[in-house]
């Protein structure tokens, strides 16, 4: 796939048009609020969404009407606020540097109030992108501060300190630096049409906000698969031998491979699954990972290895199915043109990265992709994920020796702990709603601030489930969100029910939902309604509610509707799973 | 070559089929040609041909023939 910044605007328009209408999903609603003209952002942003399999629906506010429009364009999946200093300063009738204190203060106080209004109105939007203010337009002198620079500093401090948790601030000075200021701003069109930004700027801007959009719409990646020779080390182990390959931090070329290995270790600590896919004799490669003096990436960081002479497309497909993740959740890194093209051709869902010919660029290219496509917030569950996937393999192996699956499950000594409305787990719960695709009945994605709201409004119950067995602790791996029906206080609606794929296949879901129904019945609720909303990935749970014993009501636009009386509802007993209360 | 490229840019920016653009196409007979798209047209032409269209010409590029004339001039 050609990087956005290498595409001309006309090409983006054509490609975007070709993708229009191809993506079958609920539209991702974006509201753009701006005090300058940014209409050409529309197609560029649409294109970025569509190449990530997101169908966007973009709505612009009125020109220079941000505070007022924040009231009407709220509750989107994403709001982008572009409040450019150029058009703030232009509305000051005097020369800004000569502005009297009184006028300066009234201007800045007016802006603070507007910013307060914007943040307040957008409080319940899933995610807000707010551009930092920039004074780079008024860089008269490098040794002392102009009044405008001080003004901009005050504004930036204010937004940092007063923003709500759903707001991400984009530092546009970084984009100006990357693109070059003169390539970013076109004063001709600023003065004629209040449209200051060039296509070059807009393309880089859209790339800068891409990670936020991916995170929000559950499109983040989960695994990265490396080739070995000339990808993790310089040279070919089968030919050059242990002494001939180079990954030393102190040699000219070795140091880049050393850094790449360090990046891989960094990722594994953050819950990214690391895999190896190499055409080699397995023993040669294992020897490197176990005994090479400079190896930094060790077997303990690697979840899965496919070292054989089969074609890599088949190997990659096997990796996806072994790890139980989608092909579009993986990144593949290889130095060979042939392999990269093969994967692009045969498994186009996978994002590929080719080791660049200029090796000094390699770590940077890798890092740029890593920071775009992975969630790198460290949480304790992530750090243990590699360990947990390994335990999963242990369990799979163990399975074979038991005669019935029930016997096997009973031998696992599964224990569940369920908590309700516990704010301390919100980051992990948000992450699960955003990343879980397969065992997810409705695929509603939530941000931390939305969950914060749910856990405190008395109308929602957010259940989180922890799973443990004799092989290890899986941590928080199940979420259920229930809300009281606004129109009928005796009815509850199952808004979300999802489980991490690593605990699937153990009947845990029945115990989890059984517990919740019992609790809701004890609270006095009479009925429960639930939906199965079909997505491209959740066929696994298509009949889950039938299995639980809910009454199927009908299918409306692809959504299967269910209802059940819960007062005397009995769910099948799973004797071998223990519920623990704390 | 230049002629074709200009028409391709116009087709993409105005979202109309390439075949519908002729030498007589102008601001008056292309419905989508409003002031915002005019701006995108200028920027897209500059990007496509790697030229910079002078301020005073921006307002003049209101039909296909004038665009061709000025782009060819700038490419000399």
CATH number at residue B63: 1.10.1200.10
Pairing of strands A578-580, A415-420: parallel
pLDDT (average), residues A565-574: 85
pLDDT confidence of A48, banded at 50, 70, 90?
very high
Residue A555 has pLDDT above 60, yes or no: yes
Residue found by looking up tokens 């790198």 in the block: A376
A382 domain-assigned: no
Indicate whether A42 and A185 sit together in one domain: yes
How many Å lie between the alpha carbon of B34 and the closest alpha carbon of chain A? 12
The tens digit of pLDDT for each residue in B8-33 reads 999 999 999 999 999 999 988 998 89
Indicate whether A20 and A159 sit together in one domain: yes
Output the pLDDT for position A22: 83
Helices (H), A194-253: 199-216, 237-244
Q: What ipTM, to 2 d.p.?
A: 0.82
Structural domain ending residue among the three candidates A376, A411, A441: A376
A137 domain-assigned: yes
Do residue B9 and residue A10 have CB atoms under 8 angstroms apart? yes
**CA nearest neighbour of B68 among B21, B14, B23:** B23
Indicate whether A179 and A248 sit together in one domain: no
CATH number at residue A524: 3.40.630.30
A388 domain-assigned: no
Within 8 A of B12 by CB-CB distance, chain A residues are 10, 13-14, 17
What values do phi and psi take at A55, rounded to 5? -95, 110
What values do phi and psi take at A392, rounded to 5? -55, -45
Indicate whether A230 and A202 sit together in one domain: no
Residues spanned by the domain of B14: 2-75
Indicate whether A250 and A229 sit together in one domain: yes
pLDDT confidence of A284, banded at 50, 70, 90?
very high
A385 domain-assigned: no
Structural domain ending residue among the three candidates A343, A376, A409: A376
User: Residue A213 corresponds to which tokens in the numbers above?
Assistant: 């959009």
Quick one: A169 exposed, middle or buried, by C-beta within 10 A (0-12, 13-18, 19+)? middle
Structural domain ending residue among the three candidates A216, A238, A264: A216
Judged by a CB distance cut-off of 8 A, whether residue A293 touches chain B is no
Q: What percent of chain A has pLDDT over 90?
A: 64
User: Residue A553 corresponds to which tokens in the numbers above?
Assistant: 């009501």
Residues spanned by the domain of A326: 223-376
Please, are residues A464 and A429 in contact by the beta-carbon 8 Å criterion?
yes
Q: Is the torsion defined by CA of A62, A66, A69, A70 positive or negative?
A: positive
Indicate whether A303 and A434 sit together in one domain: no
Indicate whether A156 and A271 sit together in one domain: no
The tens digit of pLDDT for each residue in A445-471 reads 999 999 999 998 889 999 999 998 887
The tens digit of pLDDT for each residue in B54-64 reads 888 888 899 99
A259 domain-assigned: yes
CATH number at residue A187: 3.40.50.1110
Number of structural domains found in chain B: 1
DSSP assignment of A80-135, as one string? EEE--HHHHHTT-SS-GGG--HHHHHHHHHHHHHHHHHHHHHTTTSSEEEEEPP--
Pairing of strands A551-556, A559-565: antiparallel
A391 domain-assigned: no
Judged by a CB distance cut-off of 8 A, whether residue B18 touches chain A is no
Closest residue in A to B36 (Cα–Cα): A39
A340 domain-assigned: yes
Indicate whether A15 and A116 sit together in one domain: yes
Residue found by looking up tokens 């300058």 in the block: A36
Judged by a CB distance cut-off of 8 A, whether residue A192 touches chain B is yes
Please, are residues A81 and A128 in contact by the beta-carbon 8 Å criterion?
yes
Judged by a CB distance cut-off of 8 A, whether residue B10 touches chain A is no
Query: CA torsion angle for A566, A570, A575, A577 (degrees, to 10)?
Result: -20
Within 8 A of B36 by CB-CB distance, chain A residues are 37, 39, 193, 195
User: Residue B69 corresponds to which tokens in the numbers above?
Assistant: 């004339």
CA A434 to chain centre: 7
pLDDT confidence of A335, banded at 50, 70, 90?
very high
Judged by a CB distance cut-off of 8 A, whether residue B51 touches chain A is no
Number of structural domains found in chain A: 3
Do residue A9 and residue B47 have CB atoms under 8 angstroms apart? yes
Q: Which of A121-125, A294-298, A405-409 has the lowest mean pLDDT?
A: A405-409
The tens digit of pLDDT for each residue in A56-89 reads 999 999 888 899 899 989 889 999 999 999 999 9
Give the integer Cα–Cα distance in Å for A535 and A208. Answer: 28
Indicate whether A202 and A244 sit together in one domain: no
């Amino acid at each position: 796939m050609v990087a956005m910044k290498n595409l001309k605007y006309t090409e983006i328009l054509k490609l975007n048009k070709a993708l229009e209408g191809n993506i079958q999903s609920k539209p991702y609603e974006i509201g753009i609020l701006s005090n300058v003209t940014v209409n050409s952002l529309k197609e560029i942003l649409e294109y970025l969404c569509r190449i990530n399999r997101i169908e966007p629906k973009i709505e612009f506010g009125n020109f220079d009407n941000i505070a007022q429009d924040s009231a009407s364009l709220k509750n989107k999946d994403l709001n982008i606020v572009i409040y450019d200093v150029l058009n703030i300063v232009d509305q000051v009738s005097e020369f800004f540097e000569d502005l009297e204190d009184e006028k300066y203060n009234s201007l800045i106080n007016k802006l603070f109030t507007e910013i307060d209004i914007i943040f307040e109105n957008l409080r319940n939007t899933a995610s807000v992108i707010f551009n930092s203010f920039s004074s780079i337009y008024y860089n008269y002198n490098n040794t002392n501060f102009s009044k405008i620079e001080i003004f901009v500093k005050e504004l930036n401090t204010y937004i940092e300190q007063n923003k709500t948790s759903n707001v991400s601030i984009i530092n546009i000075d970084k984009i100006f630096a990357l693109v070059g200021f003169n390539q970013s701003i076109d004063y001709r069109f600023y003065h004629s049409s209040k449209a200051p930004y060039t296509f070059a700027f807009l393309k880089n801007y859209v790339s800068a906000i891409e990670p936020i959009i991916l995170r929000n719409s559950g499109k983040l990646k989960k695994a990265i698969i490396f080739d070995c020779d000339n990808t993790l080390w310089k040279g070919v182990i089968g030919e050059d031998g242990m002494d001939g390959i180079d990954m030393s931090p102190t040699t000219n070329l070795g140091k880049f491979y050393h850094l790449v290995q360090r990046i891989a270790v960094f990722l594994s600590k953050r819950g990214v699954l690391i895999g190896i896919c190499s055409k080699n004799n397995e023993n040669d490669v294992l020897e490197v990972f176990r005994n090479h003096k400079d190896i930094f990436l060790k077997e303990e960081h690697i979840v899965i290895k496919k070292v054989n002479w089969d074609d890599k497309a088949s190997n990659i497909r096997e990796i996806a199915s072994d790890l139980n993740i989608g092909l579009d959740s993986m990144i593949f890194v290889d130095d060979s043109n042939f392999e990269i093209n093969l994967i692009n051709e045969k498994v186009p869902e996978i994002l590929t990265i080719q080791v660049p010919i200029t090796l000094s660029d390699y770590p940077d290219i890798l890092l740029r992709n890593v920071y775009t496509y992975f969630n790198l917030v460290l949480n304790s569950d992530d750090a243990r994920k590699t360990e947990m996937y390994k335990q999963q393999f242990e369990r799979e192996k163990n399975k074979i020796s038991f005669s019935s699956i029930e016997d096997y499950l009973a031998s696992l000594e599964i224990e569940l702990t369920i908590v309700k409305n516990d704010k301390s787990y919100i980051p992990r719960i948000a992450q699960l709603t955003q990343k879980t695709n397969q065992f997810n009945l409705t695929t509603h994605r939530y941000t931390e601030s939305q969950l914060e709201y749910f856990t405190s409004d008395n109308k929602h119950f957010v259940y989180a489930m922890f799973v443990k067995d004799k092989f290890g602790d899986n941590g928080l791996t199940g979420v259920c969100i229930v809300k009281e029906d606004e129109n009928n206080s005796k009815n509850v609606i199952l808004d979300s029910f999802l489980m991490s794929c690593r605990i699937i296949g153990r009947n845990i879901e029945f115990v989890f939902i059984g517990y919740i129904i019992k609790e809701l019945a004890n609270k006095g609720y009479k009925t429960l309604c639930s939906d199965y909303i079909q997505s491209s990935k959740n066929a696994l749970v298509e009949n889950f509610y039938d299995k639980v014993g809910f009454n199927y009501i009908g299918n409306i636009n692809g959504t299967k509707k269910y209802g059940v009386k819960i007062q005397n509802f009995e769910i099948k007993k799973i004797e071998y799973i223990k519920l623990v209360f704390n | 070559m230049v002629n074709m490229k200009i028409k391709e840019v116009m087709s993409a920016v105005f979202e109309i089929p390439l075949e519908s653009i002729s030498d007589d196409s102008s601001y008056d007979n292309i419905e989508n040609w409003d002031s915002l798209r005019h701006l995108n047209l200028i920027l897209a032409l500059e990007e496509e041909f790697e030229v910079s269209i002078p301020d005073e010409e921006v307002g003049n590029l209101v039909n296909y023939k004038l665009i061709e004339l000025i782009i060819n001039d700038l490419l000399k």
